[in-house]
Amino acid sequence: MSKPPDYYSVLGVDRNVSKDKLKRAYRVLAKKFHPDRNPDDPSAERKFKEVQKAYDVLSDEAKRSEYDQYGAAGVGQWATNPRGQRVYQWGADSSIDGDDLESLFGAFGGQRGGGAGGPSIFDNLFGGSRRPRQAAPERGRDAERRISLSFDQAFKGAVVTASIGGGRRGAAEKLDVQIPAGVKDGQRIRLAGRGHPGRYGGPAGDFYLVCAVQPHPYLVRRDADVYLDVPISITEAALGARIDVPTPEGRATVTIPAGTPSGTKLRLSGHGMTRPGGSARGDQYVVVMIVPPESVTDEQRRLLETLRDEHAYDPRSGCAWSASA
């Protein structure tokens, strides 16, 4: 049985190293020995795995504490060997028959206990008997995946088919998921218990679908409200008008009051997105933009000049800066 390497020495750090320095040392060595950077060096992969194992243990506070007290054997795991025997494994190729207590004590440097008044190694690994200690249940890790949604799907809600699992979970699973109306960009939809499996009888983690809502060609969403810039003519602004505008669910008619200035926001109540909980809708705001004609005929120019002369007014008279100009 070969002696496992010292994890602190593998990473080139002292035993009091901080988490930040430990991470920096790991990144340097992982980059140095990565197999992709050393295709002609068979030993690089072995060194890379040693660095990875050392960091996995020392970056976990609980495992690091066990390692500092008992060495590599303190962070091993129970398994069944090809002969069907229950064995305790640690390091690259170290294992012991669960019933061979003398070998087990020898793996810890010949120590049979944890010191006066402290728990023995026997107690820590076997819970005071020859049966392996039952590990505490551990909840599985959460997982997530992005799904792309159109603006219309986010507005109305939709049923989408998502692929979850795969990797360590085995084959990916297709699942129909209800996306609620009014979902926002970046919102996460939780699928309880669909994440990574738990350990030692613990529950599985959750799976999250992260919604990526695509922008609308001309509607702009702000929370549950939507905004639309609408160009109108000078005469529509001066005389008033009724115009058709698009909304998320079709077209609607909006009234432009006579004398409407550019930048005015006209509200279409309840034409926005569904609010969280589905109890109410936001509003749509039509933002008026007065657009003058690019060119006018001689007759149109004469009429505009007549309007200017007969209805002279200064639209800047109410500005705070106009008096000092």
| Domain 143-213 and domain 220-308 have a common topology | yes
* N-to-C CA span, the chain: 93
Fold annotation for 220-308: HSP40/DNAj peptide-binding domain (2.60.260)
What six digits make up the tokens of 296? Answer: 């006018």
For domain 7-126, is the CATH number 3.30.360.30? Answer: no
What does the DSSP assignment read for 165-230? E-GGG-SEEEEEEEEPTTPPTT-EEEETT-SSPPBTTPPP--EEEEEEEPPPSS-EEETTEEEEEE
Q: What is the pLDDT of residues 9-23, one digit of tens each?
A: 999 999 888 989 999
pLDDT for 209? 92
Q: With bands split at pLDDT 50, 70 and 90, how would you rate the model's confidence at 78?
A: low
**Residue 189 and residue 209 in contact, taking contact as beta carbons nearer than 8 Å:** yes
pTM, rounded to two decimals: 0.53
pLDDT category, 73, cuts 50, 70, 90?
Answer: low
42-58 vs 19-33: helix axis angle to the nearest 10?
160
**Which of the four pLDDT bands, split at 50, 70 and 90, describes residue 309?**
confident
Residue 100 has pLDDT above 80, yes or no: no
Phi/psi for 54 (5° steps) reads -60, -45
Report which of 261, 253, 267 is spatially closest to residue 237, judged by C-alpha positions: 261
CATH fold for the domain made of 143-213: HSP40/DNAj peptide-binding domain (2.60.260)
Closest CA to 284 of 299, 296, 273, 298: 273
Domains of the chain, by residue range, sit at 7-126, 143-213, 220-308
Instruction: Tell me the C-alpha distance between 154 and 146, whole Å.
Output: 14
Phi-psi region of 46 (alpha: psi -120 to 50; beta: other; left: phi over 0): alpha
Comparing 83 with 179, which gets the higher pLDDT? Answer: 179
